[in-house]
Amino acid sequence: FLENNDCLPINRARGAKSMLKDEVLSSEIQNHLQGLGKKYFSAADVCHFLAQPEMMTHFKFTKIPSEHTACRWLQVMEYCYGKAKKGMYIDGHEWEDIVEYCNTIFIPLWKSIECWMMTWTSDNVQIEPLDSTKLRIVLLTHDESTFYANDRRKTRWIHKNEKAELVRKGEGAFITVSDFCSPDLGWLKSKDG
């Protein structure tokens, strides 16, 4: 080619098009993936599906497409391999019944006992209870955290139209840590640790 500009390299592809341009093949693969009923599938699942004798004869395959080809086909069908987006849980602290409970029961009760509680300024300086004739009320909060093992796959083939969903807690191994805390006493611990 460098010596003679008229002698161009031969185009071996001869204008061949991707087999995935066949909409029937594309829809068959999509239907199969949806019919698997599982969130996690691989390019090998596409290859196994196309390796069935009826698929081989229907689409006139001479050989089974490779997993690499199946990956490219999944990308053409608007799938991408990666981590799925997580949905967001919206807390119900603004629901009508919660707001009503806070306004009619919790806040009035809190205000009625606040004069016997220790309070602090914004500079973290303690202010003694207003009414020191009675016993002091100590505020205790309960803190509980549950840590789950990494028991799920994070990466998979995701279609571009797939919506984010809430991630359920795992059912594998976990540990729960529970403690009580007081603003004026700190974390409550027994004498033996």
Tell me, what's the pLDDT at 60?
A: 85
- What token pair was written down for 86? 């997580």
Does residue 32 form part of some domain? yes
Q: Kindly state whether residues 118 and 165 are assigned to the same domain.
A: yes
Domain count, the chain: 2
Q: Kindly state whether residues 67 and 111 are assigned to the same domain.
A: no
Q: Kindly state whether residues 112 and 178 are assigned to the same domain.
A: yes
Query: Average pLDDT in the 140-161 region?
Result: 80
Residue 160 has pLDDT above 60, yes or no: yes
Q: Kindly state whether residues 124 and 50 are assigned to the same domain.
A: no
Does residue 14 form part of some domain? no
State the average pLDDT for the chain: 81
Does residue 38 form part of some domain? yes
Q: Kindly state whether residues 47 and 115 are assigned to the same domain.
A: no
Residue 68 sits in which domain range?
A: 19-77
Does residue 111 form part of some domain? yes
Does residue 85 form part of some domain? no
Q: Kindly state whether residues 182 and 106 are assigned to the same domain.
A: yes
Residue whose C-alpha is closest to residue 155's, from 31, 39, 36:
39
Q: Kindly state whether residues 183 and 103 are assigned to the same domain.
A: yes
Does residue 116 form part of some domain? yes
Query: Average pLDDT in the 7-25 region?
Result: 68
Residue 89 has pLDDT above 60, yes or no: yes
Query: What totals of helices (H) and strands (E) does the chain contain, helices first?
Result: 6, 7
Does residue 57 form part of some domain? yes
> What phi and psi, each to the nearest 5 degrees, are found at residue 178?
-130, 140
Q: Which of 50-59, 84-93, 115-124, 159-168 has the lowest mean pLDDT?
A: 84-93
Under 8 Å between Cβ of 156 and 71: no
Residue whose C-alpha is closest to residue 66's, from 31, 36, 82, 42:
42
Residue 150 has pLDDT above 80, yes or no: no
What is the pLDDT confidence band of residue 170, given thresholds at 50, 70 and 90? Answer: low
Tell me, what's the pLDDT at 51?
A: 92
> What phi and psi, each to the nearest 5 degrees, are found at residue 126?
-70, 140
Residue whose C-alpha is closest to residue 61's, from 47, 76, 73:
47
Q: Kindly state whether residues 51 and 100 are assigned to the same domain.
A: no
Does residue 84 form part of some domain? no
What is the pLDDT confidence band of residue 107, given thresholds at 50, 70 and 90? Answer: very high
Q: Kindly state whether residues 121 and 45 are assigned to the same domain.
A: no
Query: To 10 degrees, what angle do helices 23-35 and 43-50 make?
Result: 120
Residues with Cβ within 8 Å of residue 160, at least 6 apart in sequence: 78, 79, 80
Q: Kindly state whether residues 72 and 109 are assigned to the same domain.
A: no
Under 8 Å between Cβ of 178 and 186: no
